[in-house]
Amino acid sequence: MSGQTWRRALVTGGAGFVGSHLCGRLLDTGSDVVCLDNLATGSRSNVAGLQQRDGFRFVRGDATDPAAWQELPGRFDLVLHFACPASPADYLRLPLETLEVGSTGTRHALERAHADGARFVLASTSEVYGDPLEHPQRETYWGNVNPTGPRSVYDESKRFAEALVTAHRQVNGTDTAIVRIFNTYGPRMRIGDGRAVPAFISQALDGMPLTVAGDGSQTRSLCYVDDTVGGVLALAASGEPGPVNIGGGEEITMLDLARRIVEVTGSSSRIRFVERPVDDPGRRRPDTRLAQERLGWQPRVDWTEGLKRTIGWFSRTVAA
């Protein structure tokens, strides 16, 4: 993976889970970083430590609002567009905002990247594959998405954003890339965001039953956040347009994930099965050969270490 440093980078959604880790990694490599976030789902606490560092600036603003972009003077040479509610609890609570940031927000970010001559990276998602009929999912797979289902506000927002990025690259020659991020876990996930890892960990730490949807046979392939960030920046440093899958290689059922978390936390919690959400994908695992061949990227943090780090962070956060 390239060790390229950007002089000045913009991260929309930079106070979110993955976005804040991106901001930190960019600062570590010597870039000045501007974080644009409306805090609809992000948190100032995620970037509190970064605000003490030289070269970091937080701007509270909405990527869909033209006035917010006027608060960002100077030129960027990297624009990472990560602004978007990403958990089911959030995008179901903010459906119109989710669609708007995928459309208008993406357009504003693209226009700024083009005007600045910057490299642009769109944070897309494995959700563009829907409930996949191909397994594992390759970047060439078109997906199996319900366009009017409850998850469609997120799925279709990202699918439209991908189309918009592709059109800007073809029509305007903007230097763009698309990364399709699969399920990511790690410190700074919100306990109540509705995703499995924070829900299971918080329940286990509290001694509460772990709520597994359906019979727990549905699978995911989770990737530790440090590895996800490494993949995003490897794509940014390359000339690849994408889309490129970035995700974990080990497929695990949700029931097995719950059992692992109980084991690692030493909890006495039991498993409780609850109703499975509509259009919840049955199986999900990325084909990451493209990332390995073109970017030299592969996950490095194994499950045992990743869960220990994540559980340790949650333990300290809950205790505080």
**Active site residue: 91, 129, 141, 154, which one?**
154
CB 80 within 8 A of CB 11: yes
224 is known as an active-site residue: no
State the first-to-last Cα distance of the chain, in angstroms, to the nearest integer.
37
Kindly report the number of other CB atoms within 10 A of residue 66's CB atom.
Answer: 10
CB 114 within 8 A of CB 169: no
Give the H/E segment covering residue 60. strand 56-60
HSE-up of residue 62 (Cα within 13 Å, Cβ side): 12
Query: Got the DSSP string for 114-172?
Result: HHHT-EEEEEEEGGGGBS-SSSSBPTT---B--TTSTTHHHHHHHHHHHHHHHHHHHHH
Nearest-angstrom CA–CA distance, 183 and 203 = 20
Nearest-angstrom CA–CA distance, 133 and 126 = 13
Structure token pair of residue 37: 């976030």
Give the catalytic positions in this structure.
154
